[in-house]
Amino acid sequence: MSRRAATLTVASVLVLALALVGSLMPVPYVALMPGPTSNTLGVNDKGQPLIRIDGRQTYDDTGHLNFTTVTYRGGPGGRIDLFTALRGWLDGDTAIVPEETVFPKDESQKQVDEENTRQMQDSQESAEAAALHELKIPITTQVVVDGVQKGRPADGKLSPGDEVTALDGAKITSVAQITGTMAKRRIGDPVTLTIVRGGKESKQTLTTVADPTGKRPVVGIVLGDRYKFPFKIDISVGDIGGPSAGLMFSLAIVDKLTPGALTGGKFIAGTGTITPEGEVGPIGGIQQKMIAARRAGATVFLTPKDNCSDALSARPDGLRLVRADTLHGAVESINALTSGNGAVPACTK
């Protein structure tokens, strides 16, 4: 063999070896894939009702109202290799996205998982509130301290779990009410919060300081609305996290509390966050969720309006997209689908 041929052979082997090693190197990307889909009208993996209502008459429905999920591979604790990422790019069912879109740079994987769990819990409570609001069943709202910022005026005086019942003597019934009142204060003004902790009421007077922008007065607390329901609603989904099942939870609760079968026996799936007032919000991973729904047997997919454009470009065959702006609108759309009467809003770009 000539020296030239030998050199080319060695170089080729080195290039191949480097390519092989490079393909196995971890890369900062995450693979998103279709995840499990569960019927909110059915049972969970333990054979128990996924949504159980005690203290109120309920009604059965043999149809499906499935929420959908996305599963992932990768992340700071176990990055995928370049070969896996390339294979995912070629797979129509998988989305390869930058790691920071799933795991913010300033958060660990554990923190992201904990945040997803908290979002699921908040989503369930919002879904319950939205459903009862849709059915005009009265509920009571509480304002609760979710967190206290270190070094701020509330530090050491208020604690997570405290219920705030009044601001400067005026009764409080929502976080929005406090936000609106605080917007009228000036930095350095005192505010008096009436709180309930362990069944005992007390008052705390705090002097406001500037927020990080230097423009708004704050005392350093994170507040959340909590609700008292007239009967018990339990939602059991295991270790699934995130807020995107809110719409489907609300629909199932409405269905269970209303005579007759909302689905009319149809297999309906969907996704979307929900506010206590019934507003539907967008989610991530719409393509993978549609694939999961169609594979499970869904023929109708409820889609948040802000996800419609992406959904239309990747809609699986046999899956009808129905735009969902609000819980009330979603209920009306399902009624129109099952009765054959009325308009059903479709996704448009």
| pLDDT tens per residue across span 143-157 | 999 899 999 999 999
In a domain, 288, yes or no: yes
Q: Which of 228, 253, 284 is the last residue in one of the domains?
A: 228
- Write b or e for each residue in 154-190: b if 16 or more Cβ atoms lie within 10 A of its Cβ, otherwise e: beebbeeebebebbeeeebeebebbeeebeebeeeee
In this predicted structure, the answer to whether residue 282 has a pLDDT above a threshold of 80 is yes
Are residues 183 and 96 both part of a single domain? no
* Residues 6 or more apart whose Cβ sits within 8 Å of residue 47: none
- Clarify whether residues 271 and 328 are in a common domain: yes
116 and 249 co-located in one domain: yes
**Which CATH number covers residue 289?**
3.30.230
Check whether residue 236 and residue 329 sit in a common domain: yes
One domain, residues 144 and 212: yes
- The reply to whether 10 falls in a domain is no
Q: Summarize the confidence of residues 162-191 as an average pLDDT.
A: 92
Mean pLDDT over each residue of the chain, to the nearest integer: 88
Q: What are 1-21's pLDDT values in tens digits?
A: 555 555 555 445 454 444 444
User: Is 289 an annotated catalytic residue?
Assistant: yes
**Look-up: residue for tokens 């959908």?**
68
Are 158 and 170 part of one and the same domain?
Answer: yes
pLDDT of residue 349: 72
pLDDT of residue 110: 77
Q: Distances in Å between the alpha carbon of 168 and those of 24, 142, 182? A: 62, 17, 11
Boundary of a domain, candidates 181, 204, 228 = 228
Segments forming the whole domain that contains residue 252: 29-137+231-339
Q: Is the pLDDT of residue 240 over 50?
A: yes
Q: What is the pLDDT of residue 342?
A: 83
Q: Is residue 293 part of a domain?
A: yes
At 193, list the tokens.
């919060």
Of 228, 263, 285, the position where a domain reaches its end is 228
What's the residue count for the chain? 349
Q: Domain count of the chain?
A: 2
Could you tell me if 222 and 153 lie in one domain?
A: yes
- Of the candidates 123, 126, 256, 289, the residue annotated as catalytic is 289
Residues 116 and 157 in one domain: no
Question: How far apart, in Å, are the Cα atoms of 315 and each of 102, 282, 302, 347?
Answer: 23, 16, 12, 11
In the set 244, 250, 305, 333, the catalytic residue is: 244
Q: Tell me, yes or no, whether 197 and 266 share the same domain.
A: no
* pLDDT for the residue numbered 19: 46
pLDDT for 37: 95
Are residues 132 and 250 located together in one domain of the fold?
yes
Asked if residue 121 and residue 239 are part of one domain, the reply reads yes
Q: pLDDT tens-digit profile of 296-341?
A: 999 999 999 999 999 999 999 999 999 999 999 999 999 999 988 8
Residue 256 sits in the same domain as residue 184:
no
Average pLDDT for residues 81-108, to the nearest whole number? 79
| 18 falls within a domain | no
pLDDT over 80 (residue 58): yes
213-227 pLDDT, tens digit each:
888 999 999 998 888
Q: Is 244 a catalytic residue?
A: yes
Task: Tell me what percent of the residues of the chain surpass a pLDDT of 90.
Answer: 63
